[in-house]
Amino acid sequence: MFSLLAPAIPKATCRKGRPIPEFNYRLEETMAHQSTLQYTVGRIGIASLFIVSGILKAASFSDTAAWMSSSGLPFASALLVATLALEIGGGFALAAGIRTRMVAVAFAAFLVPATLLFHQFWAVSGEASAEQLNHFLKNFALLGAMLVLAATASPQQK
């Protein structure tokens, strides 16, 4: 939050109107640290959703593959292995800040077809529709988060 206010904070000056370098440096350093901390915690929070989801799919591999196959997806077991690699491996990479842009783009590319194929709230009714709409919107929000991460990854994380 502090970093959001940064543009509105004027530089500290002495009576003669000259900037006070030491104070301004500390302020900028504090804001940069705060921004980095928020970015890291946010990235780890987003990654945790993918990691847990991948682990749960792996724990019930055969049931998940059967469910994917029943949705009309060919080669469900092979695609599930790829999904697990992305969700678990990509999730840990995202949490650690390794190749953030590349991982975020991969997740974004994964989220679009997965959301449209498995969360068709418009094709069901009643409580199932509300549940699928919830999953659809969650994935849409994650897609937005992945696009933001891809756009804002620091040079060390690209």
Between 10 and 124, name the one with better pLDDT.
Answer: 124
Determine the Cα–Cα distance for residues 94 and 110; give it in Å rounded to an integer: 15
For position 84, what pLDDT does the model report? 98
Burial-class residue 157 by CB neighbours within 10 Å (0-12, 13-18, 19+).
buried
Determine the Cα–Cα distance for residues 109 and 107; give it in Å rounded to an integer: 5
Phi, psi of 72 (to 5 degrees): 90, 10
In the predicted model, is pLDDT for residue 42 greater than 50? yes
For position 158, what pLDDT does the model report? 53
In the predicted model, is pLDDT for residue 9 greater than 60? no
Pair 2, 27: CB distance under 8 Å? no
Find the distance separating the first CA and the last CA of the chain, reported in whole Å.
25
For position 32, what pLDDT does the model report? 61
Between 135 and 11, name the one with better pLDDT.
Answer: 135
Q: pLDDT digits over 120-147, tens only?
A: 999 999 999 999 999 999 999 999 999 9
In the predicted model, is pLDDT for residue 16 greater than 90? no
pLDDT range class, residue 153, cuts 50, 70, 90? confident
Pair 95, 44: CB distance under 8 Å? yes
Radius of gyration of the chain (CA): 21
